[in-house]
Structure 1
Amino acid sequence: MNKSKKLINLPENIIPEMIQGMVGAHPDILSLEGRTGRAIVAVDGPRDGKVGIVIGGGSGHEPAFAGYVGRGLADAAAVGNIFASPSPDHITDAAHQANGGAGVLMLYGNYTGDVLNFTMALEELEAAGIPARQLAVADDVASAPADRRGERRGIAGDFFVFKIAGAAADQGEPLARVEALARKANAHTLSMGVALAPCSLPQTGKPNFEIGDDEMEIGMGLHGEPGMRRDKLATADAVTDELVSTILAEMQPVAGDRVAVLVNGLGATTYVELYLIFNRVKQILDGRGIQIHRSWVGEYATSLEMAGASVTLLKLDDELTGLLDHPCRSVALTVGSTAAGDTRGARTQRRATGSEAQEATPQADLITLGNITPLVFREMMAEAGRQIIAARDWLSELDGVIGDGDHGVTMEIGWKAVQAALANAPQDETIEGSCKRMAKAFLDAVGASSGPLYATAFLRAGTAVGGRQNLDGAALATWLAAALQGIRDRGRAEPGDKTMIDAWVPAVEAAQGLGATASESEVMQAARDGAERGMNATAALESRRGRSAKLGARSVGHIDPGAASTFIILRAMSAALDRAPV
């Protein structure tokens, strides 16, 4: 498998350098504000008394998402890593910058990681007294039937939902009304795409899926998730006919109706091809007496260098038409004429962005029974990081078959952050304190679904042993069980869904099944072996959660990457414990 070639510097610096370049290239539109270095803000967008519009998602989809930050559109964007949601810290940072006192509406694509991270951010904002709402855009008709629309992915339809919500907020509508109009736009927007060739993650340089030279994937997701089916490459007209006919079958417009059209390139599709697609879209709509009110052709929501395209239709009424035509100015989209640099009503002081999480302090009268001291515990976690990093490419390859191919990269980023955080831990920090430190580090570094899941696991596990200085076998089993419960509560997955839960459950059951007299090593070995059995068993399961759930029977025969990383973590913890002096 040949590696792709990209003009990058150090892979770990891609996002900060990209942000600096984007803001530096458009200083009249964008600024970088806040604590995290991931909140891109409209220079003349946020204003006192106006609802703040916050958008966000993983990088690699440029010009989405920061390209839609500007007057009349989004007030701020939270920028995640490649194909990974921004973390709650990034999102709340952007929300504080966008907040003008009238509340904040957060918009993002309907993906598990985004839902988890934006939901955690929403909880934090509400706890801080900021009215906040959220909407996951779900426009991809290929990813679920109409009666399960809430399961659909968000693809290029973000474009229209962002435009409508931004216009409503710019016109001074209150939060409830802005949210209602965004939901209306989401309900009226349908998309479908096709992919001809894969993209590759900058960190690996490897294609995130394989496809034959004469093949295409109908219904491909924006991160390379498999679509409805794979078929032989067809003509532009034949492909467009299928995309548009599927959309129209659900939309059911009649002669005289108006629509807006977006023909979107995925990153490596020429304008020649895109205009061929639009030409056929127009022929189909003209033939049915459907008026095109506005149209856009180009790259508006890409997938790195993936070859392919999508078609999006927004069914219009008078209300949506007025909002679509409302002026806006951003890097990726300008409609009409706005007063660039007009700061009338602008907010003169940014809102506070909150405080850092407080580190736990050593407690008196802690239980000292057990061989797992805080130092041994931190070495177990450090070894977990080392083994995850070593397995990065394997985990990404597993994910490339049934997901978007970034699991190994994402876990590497998270565990490197954990390693750095633990290296700075005081020698006398308790296990609970180290768990809190790990949770914050992982969550701040990783916005994918694994970020909130493992952060919640670490927090719950630490709290469960908060009265202890050291862990014995029974306390270690308690720590593992609390970690599992945190993942289940946050992710809502159950055994059999083909997720990390399928490795965690047998691991915890095996650990708890040994009884209270088992040694620490015995408990950890039992958890390791249980996780391995669970990981291997996922190959026979059909995915029911996350991005791979769209595959159905096509997910059978492949190990779940989350279950695989769970096994690696528990195996590493066991190995480090066996090496520890007793």
Structure 2
Amino acid sequence: MTRLYNDPAAFADEALEGFAAAHRRWVWPVPGGVVRATAKTPGQVAVVIGGGSGHYPAFSGLVGQGLAHGAAVGNVFASPSAQQIRTVARAAESGGGVLLLYGNYAGDVLHFGQAAERLNAEGIATRTFAVTDDLSSAAPDEAHKRRGIAGDLPVFKAAAAAAEQGLPLDEVARVAAYANARTRSFGIAFSGCTLPGADHPLFTVPEDRMAVGLGIHGEPGIGEAAVPTADEAAELLVSTLLKELPDGVTDPDGQRAAVILNGLGSVKYEELFVVYRRVARLLADAGVQTVDPEVGELVTSFDMAGISLTLTWLDAGLEALWTAPADAPAYRKGRMPEAVAAEEDEASYETGSGPEPYVASDDSRKAAATALDALSRIKETVDAHADELGRIDAVAGDGDHGIGMQRGSAAAYEAALHAQELGAGAHSLLTAAGDAWADRAGGTSGALWGIILRSIADVLGDTERPTPTTLAHGVRQASDSVRRTGGAEVGDKTMVDVLVPFAEALGQQVGEGAELTAAWAAAADVAEQAARDTARLVPRMGRARPHAEKSLGTPDAGAHSLALIVRAVHGALATCQ
């Protein structure tokens, strides 16, 4: 378990601060992550990696010459926000464009995609790519749905080495995709990890059993088996990976492969070496020649007791990239040329000149005061239910929903309070709140709550007096935007299962002439029932999808939190009547 922490919600920020302070030779801190502390090469593609905290040395420990130019780091097991990613990318880029690399998780896909859109709009050519190496998380015919685990490293390494060679952006992106296509990983675990502040692990395994095919966010495995000997564990890992060869590799005999035996947090190095002894023999027996194998902690999951094996099937081009030198805090290979330290302003980022007072009508400012009260009630509700939300999320996911919602709702309220002090109307106040929620919470829920608040804000405006019809339209717009952006539909066991019927019920009530407080109360009843009904569903999206059967009987955490929130908002509407 995690024993040393202060405020669990501040753990990720404090860990990043300490990491940067300890590794000033390699990295400089910027808001949301770190960038190289060495001088930039003009025109070189900047490879920016990222993901949630809890995986060290991924992602901050992989920033340095020959590896990433920057890393955006989110909350524990939650994607960094689009703003964090954008800030890191702007600090890292040097005129050759940016390649954003991350694991294939819904929150990362949303936030990195949004960051890429903003960077491209600002004139910084940007590409994105999601690593999909974990063969246990989807079948071969759905390989694009697989999550990224320890295979992150060879993909990051190949792309970064290509960038060091001076290749253009599209070619560096092609190299990343090619390395990913030739990489497979598979893992096992004997116990789950415990998040900072939690009193129990995200999943448990019986004493004489192990989880097979686990994720790196505390997701339980897709199955269980008896605890093996070290040799038996090696045989399971190797045989599983040799069953699925990438296109272009028809027989392992005669092939060359990069090999990573990765410890997930609590398995000691000596144990890893015992396992690798057998892994090396099995691969040799299959005719595979290993190239620069890595044995150690490369992509972890806090204190999870587990291991994973990764194979990247090399050709001459990939092998040159895999063996190229690198010098990062947690990963060094070969000998890099002597680096010149960057001038401090090279890693600069815009801080802004401070907000100007808002222009808004009195009617809109009155509506903004109600919105602020609603955000205060949302924060209080989330705080009261954070542990419950985390427990629900941990049934088949990673257990971070409560922490993420706390960070997001608190940031939204603080941003809204500051906006009100500057005279914001409803649009400006909710826009500030939405941006702060997305930025602070990260993860899928952070992105979607940012979309919800901004969608409502866009309809309300800063000059008109909001009406029940206007608000109902804003909620409908939010529902449509979440479905369009997140890709979920009713029945997928997500917050959409509550948001859609709530929006429809609110619109119907208002259309029939109900006053706002009564209409919202009736729609909140619908939302609460819809949230309870998600217990009968199995997830078809997100991290819980591979563990669908485990979530039967438990409501979706995002759906439940939305139902709690719409009920809290009703209190603010009732007070303002």
Shorter-chain TM-score tier: over 0.9
Corresponding position: 1:507 with 2:473: no
Describe the SS at the equivalent of 1:402.
Answer: coil
Question: In the alignment, is the contact (CA less than 8 A) between 1:359 and 1:436 conserved in 2?
Answer: no
| The one of 453, 457, 460 aligned to 1:458 | 453
Match in the other structure for 1:32: 29
Superposed, 1:183-198 pairs within 5 Å as 183-198=177-192
Match in the other structure for 1:374: 368
* TM-aligned CA deviation for residue 541 of structure 1: 0.9
Q: Distance in 2 between matches of 1:17 and 1:282?
A: 39
Normalising by the residue count of structure 1, what TM-score does the alignment of the two structures yield?
0.94
* TM-aligned CA deviation for residue 8 of structure 1: 1.7
Question: In the alignment, is the contact (CA less than 8 A) between 2:493 and 2:534 conserved in 1?
Answer: yes
Match in the other structure for 1:565: 561
Higher mean Cα deviation, 222-231 or 112-121? 222-231
Match in the other structure for 2:322: 324
* TM-aligned CA deviation for residue 5 of structure 1: 5.0
Higher mean Cα deviation, 173-182 or 466-475? 466-475
Q: Distance in 2 between matches of 1:404 and 1:360?
A: 41
Match in the other structure for 1:533: 529
Q: Mark the CA change 1:357 to 1:185 in structure 2 (over 3 Å): closer, same or farther.
A: farther
| The one of 228, 232, 245 aligned to 2:239 | 245
Letter in 2 for 1:317: D
Describe the SS at the equivalent of 2:262.
Answer: strand
Question: In the alignment, is the contact (CA less than 8 A) between 1:5 and 1:205 conserved in 2?
Answer: no
| The one of 535, 539, 545 aligned to 1:549 | 545
Letter in 2 for 1:318: A
Q: Distance in 1 between matches of 2:2 and 2:549?
A: 34
Question: In the alignment, is the contact (CA less than 8 A) between 1:359 and 1:437 conserved in 2?
Answer: no
Q: Mark the CA change 1:98 to 1:423 in structure 2 (over 3 Å): closer, same or farther.
A: same
Sequence identity percentage: 38
Q: Distance in 2 between matches of 1:367 and 1:559?
A: 37
Match in the other structure for 1:493: 488
| The one of 416, 419, 426 aligned to 1:422 | 416
Residue by residue over 1:431-464, the C-alpha shift from the partner in whole angstroms, topping out at 9 and shown as x without a partner, is: 1121111111102201101111111111111111
Higher mean Cα deviation, 478-487 or 434-443? 478-487
Residue by residue over 1:119-173, the C-alpha shift from the partner in whole angstroms, topping out at 9 and shown as x without a partner, is: 0000010010000001101100000011111100000001111111111101111
Q: Mark the CA change 1:507 to 1:14 in structure 2 (over 3 Å): closer, same or farther.
A: same
Q: Distance in 2 between matches of 1:5 and 1:32?
A: 24
Question: In the alignment, is the contact (CA less than 8 A) between 2:133 and 2:149 conserved in 1?
Answer: yes
Residue by residue over 1:304-340, the C-alpha shift from the partner in whole angstroms, topping out at 9 and shown as x without a partner, is: 0010000001101100111111111011111110124
Q: Distance in 2 between matches of 1:353 and 1:418?
A: 21
Match in the other structure for 1:269: 267
Q: Mark the CA change 1:364 to 1:552 in structure 2 (over 3 Å): closer, same or farther.
A: closer
Higher mean Cα deviation, 237-246 or 179-188? 237-246
Q: Distance in 1 between matches of 2:192 and 2:252?
A: 37
* TM-aligned CA deviation for residue 478 of structure 1: 1.8
Residue by residue over 1:232-251, the C-alpha shift from the partner in whole angstroms, topping out at 9 and shown as x without a partner, is: 32222223222221211111
Q: Distance in 1 between matches of 2:104 and 2:353?
A: 29
Superposed, 1:175-574 pairs within 5 Å as 175-251=169-245, 252-342=250-340, 349-350=346-347, 353=350, 361-364=358-361, 373-426=367-420, 428-466=423-461, 469-516=464-511, 517-574=513-570
Question: In the alignment, is the contact (CA less than 8 A) between 2:325 and 2:333 conserved in 1?
Answer: yes
Describe the SS at the equivalent of 1:547.
Answer: coil
Paired residues in the alignment total 571
Corresponding position: 1:17 with 2:14: yes
Corresponding position: 1:576 with 2:572: yes
Superposed, 1:83-98 pairs within 5 Å as 83-98=77-92
* TM-aligned CA deviation for residue 50 of structure 1: 0.6
* TM-aligned CA deviation for residue 403 of structure 1: 0.6
Superposed, 1:146-161 pairs within 5 Å as 146-161=140-155
Higher mean Cα deviation, 376-385 or 190-199? 376-385
Higher mean Cα deviation, 287-296 or 125-134? 287-296
Letter in 2 for 1:140: D
Residue by residue over 1:9-30, the C-alpha shift from the partner in whole angstroms, topping out at 9 and shown as x without a partner, is: 2334323332232222222111
Describe the SS at the equivalent of 2:420.
Answer: coil
Question: In the alignment, is the contact (CA less than 8 A) between 1:374 and 1:470 conserved in 2?
Answer: no
Match in the other structure for 2:94: 100
Q: Mark the CA change 1:477 to 1:458 in structure 2 (over 3 Å): closer, same or farther.
A: same
Q: Mark the CA change 1:172 to 1:343 in structure 2 (over 3 Å): closer, same or farther.
A: farther
Q: Distance in 2 between matches of 1:373 and 1:306?
A: 48
Q: Mark the CA change 1:6 to 1:510 in structure 2 (over 3 Å): closer, same or farther.
A: same
Q: Distance in 1 between matches of 2:353 and 2:209?
A: 50
Q: Distance in 2 between matches of 1:58 and 1:296?
A: 23
Question: In the alignment, is the contact (CA less than 8 A) between 2:48 and 2:99 conserved in 1?
Answer: yes
Letter in 1 for 2:486: G
Q: Mark the CA change 1:260 to 1:482 in structure 2 (over 3 Å): closer, same or farther.
A: same
Which residues of structure 2 form unaligned runs of 5+? none
Describe the SS at the equivalent of 1:339.
Answer: coil
| The one of 41, 47, 54 aligned to 2:48 | 54
Normalising by the residue count of structure 2, what TM-score does the alignment of the two structures yield?
0.94
Describe the SS at the equivalent of 1:475.
Answer: helix
Which residues of structure 1 form unaligned runs of 5+? none
Describe the SS at the equivalent of 1:261.
Answer: strand
C-alpha root-mean-square deviation of aligned residues, in Å? 2.1
